[in-house]
Amino acid sequence: MRLPTPTPGDIEWFVHDRFGMFIHWGLYSLAARHEWVKYNETIPDDVYQKYFEQFNPDLYDPQAWARACRKAGMKYVVLTTKHHEGFCLWDSKLTDYKITNTPYGKDALRPYVDAFRAEGLKIGFYHSLIDWHHPDFPIDGQHPLRDHPDALKMNETRNMARYADYLHGQVRELLTEFGKIDVLWFDFSYPDFVHRGLPGKGRNEWQSEKLLKMARELQPGIIVNNRLNLPMGNADFYTPEQYQPRAWVQVDGQPVFWEACQTFSGSWGYYRDEDTWKSPEQLVQMLINTVSCGGNLIMNVGPTARGTVDARAEQALSVYGEWLRLHGRSIYGCAPSEFQPPQDCRYTQSGNRLYLHLFNWPFKFVYLDGLANKIAYAQLLHDGSQVFVKSALRDYNYEAVAQFIPSDTAVLELPVRKPDVVVPVVEIILK
């Protein structure tokens, strides 16, 4: 198996831990209809201002968030310090558009860092490169004012270099005032996206090279995602979003470290009326599938305007928590296997332990190609109960069965009823 080449940051803990929590929280949580609401509904600043004036998450309890994260089996967290709307969750010296100037009146970031750190979790910051509020950010196709008749003219007074200074200055604050930060998650670049004569933005506009250099200087070991629009070799990990890769993610023909970022329902910010919540099977299968393809999974929670995790998200977190309590061994520290899994199954592997994840429960037998005489022992992972291993031709010496089973195939004998877990796993100890 070809493995990714090492990256500048400390990627080992990340690859080992496999599963994290994304948190999207900002003024859009009040609108409760997508974090892109300002863009989707082309809401001007003065109208959007009402969310700023109302922002008062009286039930914000970062310890409760951190506990929920740990109990879900997630090992790291990434919170939106600022999303595209431009609102800052910390007391930045570089803007007034920040949480301390809302009715809430307090910084939310330091308590977040402290609470998650105290639960033993690694800490990440998501930071939006895009800014729909900053007066120097040139209007482009990703901006709420993209179709304003005077957009081009308005850009005459907007100064990209000044905005880049602001961006760099804020990242400096984030990486110097909150102790050790493990993950930096920038979002996003679109250099070739031109809309009505408004150019897109990428590495030149963000001054990405300088920004990344500063980040690595301020926080040695920090791992940074791939959305700065820099060439291969700069990012520590890649970020497929809203689809599930079917194989190890490659860039320029090279395997890379990667993290799929996904939502419990369709939106990142809290969306009251959205109804595409994933089933327990989908949630667990996405995690397994990701690890079986060499990736990490970060699942998003969009807390409400009052600072709570809504019941549907809590439910989804508990699905992961319950499954991982019994099956964590098949995820943490695991990687893809060289063996080809049977139909409707996935393999993960750690050393001589091979994990067979059964997405569909077959009747009585499951056939493992290439594993005849290679299995020392097998058990269901959730209860440690023995699973009999048959070496096909020896144990089934009646023709009708034998003719379907190649000689290098091992056969596991399963109970007829599917165990009462979302996805059952057989732990196979290889000789």
Residues that bind ligand GLC (CB under 6 A): 24, 35-36, 187-188, 241, 261, 268
Quote the least distance from Cβ 83 to ligand GLC, whole Å.
Answer: 6
36 versus 237: smaller Cβ distance to ligand GLC:
36
**Among residues 19, 133, 30, which one has the least CA distance to residue 85?**
133
Quote the least distance from Cβ 74 to ligand GLC, whole Å.
Answer: 16
Tell me the one-letter amino acid at 148: H
264 versus 268: smaller Cβ distance to ligand GLC:
268
127 to each of 92, 168, 225, 328, how far by Cα in Å?
13, 11, 11, 30
Quote the least distance from Cβ 142 to ligand GLC, whole Å.
Answer: 8
Task: Indicate the residue whose CB is closest to ligand GLC.
Answer: 261
80 versus 102: smaller Cβ distance to ligand GLC:
80
52 versus 238: smaller Cβ distance to ligand GLC:
238
Strand, coil or helix: 219 = coil
Quote the least distance from Cβ 227 to ligand GLC, whole Å.
Answer: 8
Quote the least distance from Cβ 138 to ligand GLC, whole Å.
Answer: 18
188 versus 323: smaller Cβ distance to ligand GLC:
188
What b/e sequence results for 310-335 when a residue is b if at least 16 CB atoms lie within 10 Å of its CB, and e otherwise?
beebeebbebbbbbbebbebbbbbbb
Strand, coil or helix: 14 = helix
**Distance between CA atoms of 197 and 207, rounded to whole angstroms?**
22
Structure tokens at 221: 């070991």
24 versus 216: smaller Cβ distance to ligand GLC:
24
Quote the least distance from Cβ 84 to ligand GLC, whole Å.
Answer: 6
What b/e sequence results for 289-309 when a residue is b if at least 16 CB atoms lie within 10 Å of its CB, and e otherwise?
bbbbbbbbbbbbbbbbbebbb
Strand, coil or helix: 367 = strand
